[in-house]
Amino acid sequence: MQSFRTELENPVVEREIIELEKKIRAFQGGEIPEEKFRSLRLARGVYGQRQPGVQMVRIKLPFGRVTFRQLLKIADISDEYASKNLHLTTRQDIQIHYVSLDKTPELWAKLAADDMTLREACGNTVRNVTASPAAGIDPEEPFDVSPYAQSTFQYLLRSPFCAEMGRKFKISYSSSDKDTAFSYIHDFGFIPKIRVVNGQEERGFKVMLGGGLGSQPILAHEVYDFLPENEVLPYIEATLRVFDRYGERNNRNKARFKYLVQKLGLDEVLRLIDEERTATRIKTFTVDRQNVPEPVLPTGTVEPVEPADPFAYELWKATNVFEQKQRGYYGVYVKVLTGDIATSKARQLVAGIRDHVADDIRITQDQNLLFKYVRSESLPHIFNLLTELGFASPGHNSTADVTTCPGTDTCNLGISNSTEMARVLEKYIHEFYQDFIHERDLKIKISGCMNSCGQHGLAHIGFHGSSVKAGGKVVPAAQVMLAGGTVGNGRGRVAERVIKVPTKRVTQVVDIILTDYKQNSAADENFHAYYDRQTKDYFYRLLKPLADLTTLSADEYIDWGHEETFATAIGVGECAGVVIDLVATLLFEAEEKIDLANEAFQEKQYADAIYHAYSSFVGTAKALLLDKGINASSQAAVISEFDTHYVQTGIFDFPTTFAERVLQINKYEPSEEFAEVYLKQSAAFHYEGANRRADLRVVN
């Protein structure tokens, strides 16, 4: 398994970078179809922007960990290749924008030199493995989940069973029952637990399965109250294999794992996962608890300084600073408005904190930063530095800490300008609702469209971009969603759609809701309880006057941050890649899988060799079905349809069925003997399939 070493020391990475450069040239020369190339670059973290001719590059940072050196490297790269800005995401990545496609291999190589990757940051892959940012220093954690998140990232990166799925797959590790990594809206969410057996402590996890946000949020199911730590990775692998085989591949709107659970039923999915365990690479896996390097702690002498603004300092300290489980040290949250840091400020930040914090910065799910191992005497210095850079705003993780996606700034799917809306709302709350700077049980989150990249589906007050028509014109609008959020220990709530209002009225929405909550809630009644008591209809009636389009002003036809009249301009989203339905491309890919299977076999990676061979079986069969105009919607359907249209009709001959031959994959242990036989069978099938299609084309 890959360790914390320079990625370029890995010959596979070097080959991937060279291969990407070749593919770019082939695409630009017209040798690779656009659909195929899009899928390829997305799996390498390169995402088409709203603006033509430039790319967003997503840097995959497991559980949001970034060192001083890595942050400075990303800043240098953004200066050289992008827009001199770093964007922190809700999945703890860093994105840079306005990158030329030609420069992405060179950029990737420079990142790899400091152990960073673009691989599988976008596309139909396992996305960045997230974790509670306070993991390792959380006073309430049973144990540090960082090594488990790191092991998951390492184990799954470049694995054949999760590199080209029907849709993306998301995994999180929370540090405690507070569930600050939102297990309940993930495909896999893990919450750490300790039990005592025969006087010995055992580590494990509560396991949440099949959740997701998007346009149709679904809460995850609890499938284990305690899964031993050494069974976690085998269980993840078995699940991903099931998703790869049975997941939808034609209708991307129904292709997430949550829909497979919905379609087959939880019990059947769990049965298939259990059946798949025979074929996994490993049956147990002991996580190296030291696989995340111990952070380098600050040791230098701290010169005493006075805070630039003593009153602001005390407020900041009360809302943004907490004492770690390591006595004498503090965690410091840094509020980063809309998650955007200019590269010049990133350098000033690193220079100013080097001797005051551990070399282990964490990006948070609310697009902020967390500094670790801060000594009390360093707090005034850090406050002054953050004040100078504009990052000392109080109220981390409060109502005044608004989460947002980039919206129409760069995203193809964006309908409205979510970033400017977030800036306006944060300023409004700081000016008029300062008491809510201390309120951590009422969060505001914004997405530029319904897809929930800004997590509006789990907000107490959520907005997503939309539009309405009035007087023959299109008006930018916001769908108001209420009462979502974390309950704890794997339980959560999906926000309910209440009403749609013009975007320029969102400050009034917030004003009405916060005022009503302050005036009418009972003592110690949180917003969830208040909403349930008042009911959705109460809030609909409360906000209904704001939906009146007969009172629109001229300004309300213009979106936040714009001067021109609003017009919807939604492009083709690339959040999960595309379905490739080109017969020749499929046959070529199936041949590549045979090559990969042979390589894995030579390296004694028998489980991977078997899976590549399986993928070749399915790819070849899908290509031949497409030749007959049959577009099966999952790998399982491909196998079944091939039997119907090719085996039962006598075109192909098998001792029993095609399904029985292909599905040997989960009937045998991944031994050398089985891998050798299965690979030969797959190669023979591909050879026969490709030749039959060639013969048919000659005849026709």
Gyration radius (Cα) of the chain, Å: 26
**Cβ atoms within 10 A of the Cβ of 629, count?**
6
State residue 269's pLDDT score.
98
DSSP 326: S
Q: Look at the chain and count its residues.
A: 700
State residue 575's pLDDT score.
52
Q: Do 183 and 314 fall into the same domain?
A: no
Domain that holds residue 608: 583-699
State residue 362's pLDDT score.
98
- With b for 16 or more beta-carbon neighbours within 10 A and e for fewer, the 170-199 pattern comes to bbbbbbbbbbbbbbbbbbbbbbbbeeeeee
> In whole angstroms, what is the distance from residue 341 CA to residue 347 CA?
10
> In whole angstroms, what is the distance from residue 498 CA to residue 383 CA?
40
Q: Is residue 542 part of a domain?
A: yes
Q: Do 603 and 649 fall into the same domain?
A: yes
Query: Locate tokens 């291969």: which residue?
Result: 19
> In whole angstroms, what is the distance from residue 28 CA to residue 625 CA?
30
pTM (two decimals) = 0.94
Q: Do 549 and 600 fall into the same domain?
A: no
Q: Do 379 and 412 fall into the same domain?
A: no
> In whole angstroms, what is the distance from residue 503 CA to residue 700 CA?
58
Q: Do 444 and 492 fall into the same domain?
A: yes
Domain boundary, last residue among 104, 119, 134: 119
Q: CB–CB of 112/13 below 8 Å?
A: yes
HSE at residue 402, side-chain half, CA atoms within 13 A, is: 28
Beta bridge partners of 369: 334, 363
Domain with residue 527: its CATH number is: 3.30.413.10
DSSP for 184-249, please give it.
GGSSEEEEEEEEEETTEEEEEEEEEES-B-TTS-BPPEEEEEEEEGGGHHHHHHHHHHHHHHHS--
Q: Is residue 299 part of a domain?
A: no
Q: Do 103 and 155 fall into the same domain?
A: no
> Total structural domains in the chain?
5
- Three-class SS state of 513: helix
pLDDT along the chain (700 residues), means of 10: 47 83 88 79 86 92 98 98 97 97 92 93 94 98 98 96 93 98 98 96 98 94 98 98 96 94 98 96 95 90 94 98 97 97 98 96 98 97 98 97 89 85 96 96 95 93 94 92 97 97 97 98 96 98 96 92 68 45 77 94 96 97 92 96 96 95 95 97 95 58
Q: Is residue 568 part of a domain?
A: no
Residue 459, phi then psi, degrees to nearest 5: -95, 150
Chain-centroid distance of CA 292 in Å reads 21
Q: CB–CB of 182/61 below 8 Å?
A: no
- Three-class SS state of 369: strand
Q: Is residue 272 part of a domain?
A: yes
Residue type, 194: I
Q: Do 142 and 287 fall into the same domain?
A: yes
Q: Do 546 and 612 fall into the same domain?
A: no
Q: CB–CB of 211/186 below 8 Å?
A: yes
Q: Do 325 and 424 fall into the same domain?
A: no
State residue 567's pLDDT score.
66
Q: Do 268 and 375 fall into the same domain?
A: no
Q: Is residue 576 part of a domain?
A: no
> In whole angstroms, what is the distance from residue 642 CA to residue 598 CA?
25
**Cβ atoms within 10 A of the Cβ of 223, count?**
18
| Closest to 490 measured CA to CA, from 56, 227, 145, 185 | 185
**Conformation bin of residue 452: beta by default, left when phi > 0, alpha when psi is -120 to 50:** left
Domain with residue 592: its CATH number is: 1.20.120.330
Three-state secondary structure string covering 519-584:
HHCCCCCCHHHHHHHHCHHHHHHHHHHHHCHHHCCHHHHCCCCCCCCCCCCCCCCCCCCCCCCCHH
- Three-class SS state of 497: strand
Q: Do 412 and 494 fall into the same domain?
A: yes
Return the H-helix or E-strand segment holding 97.
Answer: strand 94-99
Q: Is residue 221 part of a domain?
A: yes
Beta bridge partners of 461: 444, 482
Q: Is residue 572 part of a domain?
A: no
State residue 700's pLDDT score.
43
| Closest to 674 measured CA to CA, from 284, 279, 159 | 279
State residue 582's pLDDT score.
62
Domain with residue 54: its CATH number is: 3.90.480.20
Three-state secondary structure string covering 593-649:
HHHHHHHHHHCCCHHHHHHHHHHHHHHHHHHHHHHCCCCCCCHHHHHHHHHHHHHCC
> In whole angstroms, what is the distance from residue 320 CA to residue 313 CA?
10
**Conformation bin of residue 339: beta by default, left when phi > 0, alpha when psi is -120 to 50:** left
Q: CB–CB of 660/654 below 8 Å?
A: yes
Q: Is residue 112 part of a domain?
A: yes
Q: Do 415 and 534 fall into the same domain?
A: yes
State residue 5's pLDDT score.
41
